Amino acid sequence: MELKIYSLDGIKFEGTVGQVSLPTEAGEITVLKNHIPLITVLKKGFVKIDKENFQIEGGVAEIDGGKVVVLAN
């Protein structure tokens, strides 16, 4: 699955991952390939991928099949 994480400082991550966990307003979700399309608000926490974690202060994520785009604060 293709993941892109953008912040005000620039591109934080672009690459292929097996899964990603996101801190949403409704709780943490894990996204796998072919997840249903979804746009969700993110809260302060960590975007977790494989062996890396990216701390965010909030933002928005768009999930569409094999692609996840995170716009983070």
CATH superfamily membership of 2-72: F0F1 ATP synthase delta/epsilon subunit, N-terminal (2.60.15.10)
Query: What pLDDT digit, counting tens, does each position of 35-62 carry?
Result: 999 999 999 999 999 889 999 999 999 9
pTM for the predicted model, two decimal places: 0.92
Give pairs for 51-55: CB < 8 Å, separation 24+: 52/13, 54/5, 54/12, 54/13
Query: What pLDDT digit, counting tens, does each position of 8-38 carry?
Result: 999 999 999 999 999 999 999 999 988 999 9
Closest CA to 38 of 46, 47, 30: 30
Q: Provide the residue ranges of all domains of the chain, joining segments of one domain with +.
A: 2-72
